[in-house]
C-alpha cells in the first residue's frame, strides 16, 4: 500500500471510532433564568448596604452587599480599610432556616459581597433574608428582603 492509501485507511478508522450514535449525541437544552431581587438600601456603619436574593428555579441564594454611601468628595484622601462585623441569614417564612453567616469583612472603597446562605425551597414559598453590618462606633441596622419563589 502506498502512503496515501494508509492515510485514508487511518482517517476512516478514526472516524469510525469517534462516531457517536445520533441519540447519544442529542443534548437537551433546558434554560433556567436567574432572577435577582434586592431589598431597599440602608445606611449601616456609614456605608450603603442591601440584601439580595438570586432565584433559579426552586433554588435561592442570598447575598449582602456593602458599598460607599456616596461618591467621595473631590480631593479627599483614599478611604482607609475598615474591619466590619457582618451577619447574613435566610429562612423560608413559616418554615426552615436556610442558614446564616457571621464574620469579619474588610471594606476599603470597592463594593463587597457577603455570600453563603441559601438552598432549595418548595415552589410558592416566601423566603426572607436579613443582612447587618457593624463597625465602631455604629450599631447594626439590618436590611431585609422578602421574595416569593414561583418556580
Per-run averaged pLDDT (10 residues), the chain, 151 residues: 44 44 51 92 91 97 95 82 96 96 94 96 96 92 96 84
Given phi > 0 = left and psi -120 to 50 = alpha, else beta, which region is 40? beta
Sign of CA dihedral 103, 93, 62, 47: negative
The Cα angle at residue 130 between residues 33 and 62, in degrees rounded to 5: 25
CATH code assigned to 33-148: 2.60.40.2420
- At 41, list the grid cell: 438600601
Which segments of the chain does DSSP mark as H helices, in order? Answer: 3-18, 22-25
pTM for this predicted structure:
0.76
- At 68, list the grid cell: 460607599
Domain borders along the chain are 33-148
Amino acid at each position: 500500500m502506498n502512503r496515501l492509501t494508509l492515510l485514508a485507511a487511518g482517517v476512516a478508522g478514526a472516524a469510525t471510532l469517534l462516531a457517536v450514535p445520533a441519540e447519544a449525541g442529542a443534548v437537551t437544552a433546558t434554560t433556567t433564568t436567574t432572577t435577582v431581587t434586592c431589598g431597599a438600601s440602608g445606611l449601616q456603619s456609614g456605608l450603603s448596604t442591601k440584601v439580595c436574593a438570586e432565584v433559579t428555579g426552586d433554588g435561592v441564594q442570598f447575598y449582602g452587599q456593602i458599598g460607599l454611601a456616596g461618591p467621595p468628595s473631590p480631593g479627599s484622601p483614599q478611604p482607609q480599610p475598615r474591619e466590619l462585623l457582618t451577619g447574613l441569614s435566610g429562612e423560608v417564612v413559616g418554615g426552615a432556616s436556610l442558614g446564616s453567616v457571621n464574620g469579619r469583612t474588610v471594606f476599603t472603597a470597592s463594593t463587597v459581597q457577603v455570600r453563603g446562605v441559601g438552598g432549595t425551597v418548595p415552589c410558592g414559598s416566601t423566603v426572607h433574608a436579613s443582612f447587618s453590618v457593624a463597625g465602631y462606633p455604629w450599631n447594626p441596622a439590618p436590611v431585609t428582603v422578602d421574595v416569593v419563589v414561583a418556580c
